[in-house]
Structure 1
Amino acid sequence: MPPEIRKKLVVVGDGACGKTCMLMVHSKNEFPKKYVPTVFENYTTVVNYSNQQIELSLWDTAGQEDYDRLRPLSYPESDIVLMCFAVDTHSSLDNLTEKWHPELAHFLPDTPKIVVGLKTDLRDETITAEGKERFVPTERGQAVAAALHCKYFECSAKTGKGLPEVFHAAVKAAMQSRFSKMRKRACSVL
């Protein structure tokens, strides 16, 4: 029996920050061997949440500036957005507040958003203190997420560490958003 509930998850963030790898590992359990810039890609997976099967439509958007005018076409009917950055690229975190959050506040003001730090395996593999300094610390990611009123998660598509938690939180937020939208549509008799 096909899932009765369908949810749309959109992923945004700078180009090459790891969005596509995260989605491919989650939906197909395969890590891409080489980088190919995404224009727009969709994946579908079925997840279990509270004893219900949910079809999760994963929308991978292009982070490159060339697609700034096309990207909003991916936004309608979104139930949850993952705002992603790479922990090995400080500017990708800065762009969450300078570019991605303002864009989403305009197009999806009422849609829940989660900040996700990607490529944590690179930070975890670094042994020296000097080497670790070039990475975004977890605390900085948490601070940015808090300032944006978002939850914060980190994961590695390469190792799978943290990936289930990201998608569980995303489905949970999408489902809670669904129920609050249903309450807003309900009539009140006075």
Structure 2
Amino acid sequence: WDTAGQEEYDRLRTLSYPQTNVFIICFSIASPPSYENVKHKWYPEVCHHCPSVPILLVGTKKDLRNNPETMKRLKEQNQAPITTQQGVSLSKQIRAVKY
């Protein structure tokens, strides 16, 4: 299942978790807040409901990592695209089987 991340779906989303074989948690390389959501929302939720199910961590929008517009927008917010090293580090923190 692909589930929505909006808060209004929090209770419904977890109904799709039973009998899950693997979780694919995604974040946008061009959005540091989505990276932080892995640690503060998605990983805790998955661990609470399905602690023994493997997790794959996926960084999306890799093409925007070196995009001038993306870099400018993030710089204006004192942010930068998520690096490969940050993705690998996060995957270890959440004990993902693969990044």
TM-score (norm 1): 0.45
**Paired residues, what number?**
93
Superposed CA deviations along residues 70-126 of structure 1, whole A, max 9, x for unmatched, are: 1001101110000110111101111111111111111111100011101111114x2
1:63 counterpart SS class: coil
- Residue deviations 1:14-57, cap 9 Å, x none? xxxxxxxxxxxxxxxxxxxxxxxxxxxxxxxxxxxxxxxxxxxx
Q: For residue 136 of structure 1, what is the aligned residue in structure 2?
A: 82
Aligned with 1:74 (options 2, 6, 16)? 16
Residue correspondence of structure 1 range 153-168 to structure 2 within 5 A: 153=99
Structure having the larger proportion of residues in strand: 1
SS state at 1:61 partner? coil
Q: Which has the higher contact order (CA 8 A, sep 6+)?
A: 2
Bigger share in helix = 2
Q: For the Cα contact (< 8 Å) 2:22–2:54, is it kept in 1?
A: yes
Question: Structure 1: which 4+ aligned runs deviate by more than 4 Å?
Answer: 130-133
TM-score norm. by structure 2 comes to 0.84
Output the amino acid matched with 1:139: Q
Name the amino acid aligned to 1:68. Answer: D
> Please, what is the CA RMSD of the aligned residues?
1.9
Mapping for residues 1-190 of structure 1, pairs under 5 Å? 59-124=1-66, 126=67, 131=72, 134-153=80-99
SS in structure 1 of the partner of residue 2 of structure 2: strand
- Identity score, percent: 38
Alpha-carbon distance in structure 2 between the residues aligned to 1:91 and 1:79:
27
- Contact map agreement 1:141 1:152 (CA 8 A) in 2: no
Larger radius of gyration: 1
Which stretches in structure 1 are left out of the alignment for 5+ residues?
Answer: 1-58, 154-190
Whole-angstrom CA distance in 2 between matches of 1:151 and 1:137: 19
Structure 1 residue 149, shift from structure 2 partner? 1.1
